[in-house]
């Protein structure tokens, strides 16, 4: 068994690594889609140098899948199919996803991996009503994450840049999933039981782009020329 982790840079994929290692199950690498032009994690808009810092802290090789922005679905699927074929050739047997309860997303992943030689895993998957308890468990265990992206159609823009903590959970409207599973917000995980030590970050400006609010994060130890 050799697991490739679908890695978003956020709290759920970070927690999934912790869960897999507790069992323990063998993780062989991380897989992340990258906005090729901006050199940032797709949707989360996290700088590549911070992504690299996470992979280094986890002690895992990082596979970056470049995609354009905007990215047509056929281009995304072609790039991911190539990554899956490479993983199967490299001896990977499973791909782990940090999906929490969206059945349509799970079915899509299962359908795309059918016949590839890789089996999908969903270690965190449960009912919609379990995400509040999961969020509290993450925080109690020491996971720390910063909100990098907010969908203002679902969540007040003032949440952009906030820490994912107990106070945040108490402030979230009842309509918002505590883990942001419907895309209400996305995060960058910088500390927790999956990391040997916290990843240093600085909080930059928040900007609007394509209808979303993005908060820029930088690593003070790593110079970078990339911009939001």
Q: What are 52-83's pLDDT values in tens digits? A: 999 999 999 999 999 998 889 999 999 999 99
Comparing 38 with 164, the larger pLDDT belongs to 164
Q: Which residues contact 6 (CB under 8 A, 6 or more apart)?
A: 13, 31, 32, 95, 96, 97, 98
Task: Look at residue 227 and tell me whether its pLDDT is greater than 60.
Answer: no
pLDDT at 219: 84
Phi and psi dihedrals of 46, rounded to 5? Answer: -85, 135
Overall domain count for the chain: 1
Residue 143 lies in a domain: yes
Residue 228 lies in a domain: no
Q: Hey, how many other C-beta atoms are within 10 angstroms of the C-beta on 103?
A: 10
Residue 170 lies in a domain: yes
Task: Look at residue 11 and tell me whether its pLDDT is greater than 80.
Answer: yes
CA dist 32 and 214 (Å) reads 19
CA dist 11 and 223 (Å) reads 24
Following DSSP, what letter does each residue of 149-196 receive, concatenated? EE-TTTS-GGGTT-B-SHHHHHHS-TTS-TT-TTSSEEEEEEESTTSS
At 15, the pLDDT band (50, 70, 90 cuts) reads: very high
- pLDDT tens digits along 183-195: 999 999 999 999 9
Say if residues 162 and 146 touch (Cβ distance below 8 Å).
yes
Residue 145 lies in a domain: yes
pLDDT at 165: 98
- pLDDT tens digits along 102-149: 999 999 999 999 999 999 999 999 999 999 999 999 999 999 999 999
Residue 50 lies in a domain: yes
At 221, the pLDDT band (50, 70, 90 cuts) reads: low
Query: Considering the entire predicted model, what is its pTM?
Result: 0.94
Residue 223 lies in a domain: no
CA dist 177 and 170 (Å) reads 12
Task: Look at residue 220 and tell me whether its pLDDT is greater than 90.
Answer: no
Q: Which residues contact 131 (CB under 8 A, 6 or more apart)?
A: 100, 101, 177, 178, 179, 181
Residue 59 lies in a domain: yes
* Domain ranges, residue 204: 3-218
Angle at 154 (CA atoms; ends 165, 112), nearest 5 degrees? 90
Residue 225 lies in a domain: no
- pLDDT tens digits along 167-218: 999 999 999 999 999 999 999 999 999 999 999 999 999 999 989 999 999 9
Alpha-carbon dihedral 212, 111, 4, 10, rounded to 10 degrees: 20
The CATH number assigned to the domain holding 40 equals 3.40.50.620
């Amino acid at each position: 068994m050799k697991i490739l982790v679908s890695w978003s840079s956020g709290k759920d994929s970070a927690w999934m690594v912790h869960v897999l290692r507790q069992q323990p199950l063998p993780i062989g690498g991380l897989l992340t889609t990258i906005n090729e032009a901006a050199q940032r994690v797709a949707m989360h808009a996290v700088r590549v140098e911070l992504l690299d810092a996470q992979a280094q802290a986890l002690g895992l090789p990082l596979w970056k899948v470049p995609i354009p922005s905007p990215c047509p679905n056929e281009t995304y699927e072609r790039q991911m199919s190539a990554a899956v074929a490479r993983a199967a050739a490299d001896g990977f047997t499973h791909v782990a996803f940090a999906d929490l309860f969206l059945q349509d997303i799970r079915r899509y992943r299962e359908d795309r991996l059918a016949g590839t030689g890789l089996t999908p895993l969903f270690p965190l998957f449960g009912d919609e009503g379990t995400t509040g308890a999961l969020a509290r468990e993450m925080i109690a265990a020491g996971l720390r994450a910063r909100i990098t992206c907010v969908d203002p159609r679902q969540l007040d823009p003032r949440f952009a840049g906030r820490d994912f903590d107990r106070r945040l959970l108490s402030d979230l409207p009842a309509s918002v999933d505590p883990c942001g599973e419907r895309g209400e917000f996305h995060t960058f995980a910088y500390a927790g039981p999956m990391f040997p030590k916290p990843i240093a970050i600085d909080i930059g400006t928040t900007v609007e782009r394509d209808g979303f609010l993005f908060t820029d994060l930088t690593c003070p130890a790593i110079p970078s020329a990339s911009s939001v």
